[in-house]
């Protein structure tokens, strides 16, 4: 699938110091895709970062447009809040 990264999402990637290649990896092979507000989806993966601590990296995508648009990107330590158990 092809993705376009919005200006806001790129600014957040830079500001939050999330590696661009990590975002691309999550988009191509997320551990989970969950529904979000509106028709957006969160492509997300648990990543070991910063002194061995696990974070959930969430890439919020609007896939109702072509190409799909990355709306924002962030990492959180609140994995349980967002992770969906099967």
Q: pLDDT tier at 49 (50, 70, 90 boundaries)?
A: confident
Q: Is the pLDDT of residue 50 over 80?
A: no
Q: Which two tokens stand for residue 29?
A: 């092979």
Question: What pLDDT is stored for residue 68 in this prediction?
Answer: 95
Question: What is the enclosing helix (H) or strand (E) of 29?
Answer: none
Which residues, 6 or more positions from 2, have their beta carbon under 8 angstroms from its beta carbon?
A: 67, 68
pTM assigned to the model:
0.93
Domain ranges in the chain are 3-77
CA pair distance 7, 45, nearest whole angstrom: 22
pLDDT tens-digit series, residues 4-47: 999 999 999 999 999 999 999 999 999 999 999 889 999 999 99
Question: What pLDDT is stored for residue 52 in this prediction?
Answer: 85
Per the CB < 8 A criterion, the answer to whether 50 and 62 are in contact is no
Instruction: Give the bridge partners for 33, in sequence order.
Output: 43
Q: Which two tokens stand for residue 85?
A: 């158990």
């Amino acid at each position: 699938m092809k993705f376009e990264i919005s200006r806001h999402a790129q600014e957040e990637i830079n500001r939050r110091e999330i590696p661009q290649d990590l975002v691309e990896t999550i988009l191509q092979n997320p551990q989970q895709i969950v529904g979000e507000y509106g028709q957006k989806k969160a492509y997300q993966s648990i990543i070991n970062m910063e002194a061995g601590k696990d974070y959930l990296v969430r890439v919020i995508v609007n896939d109702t447009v072509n190409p799909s648009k990355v709306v924002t990107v962030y990492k959180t330590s609140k994995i349980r809040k967002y992770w969906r158990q099967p």
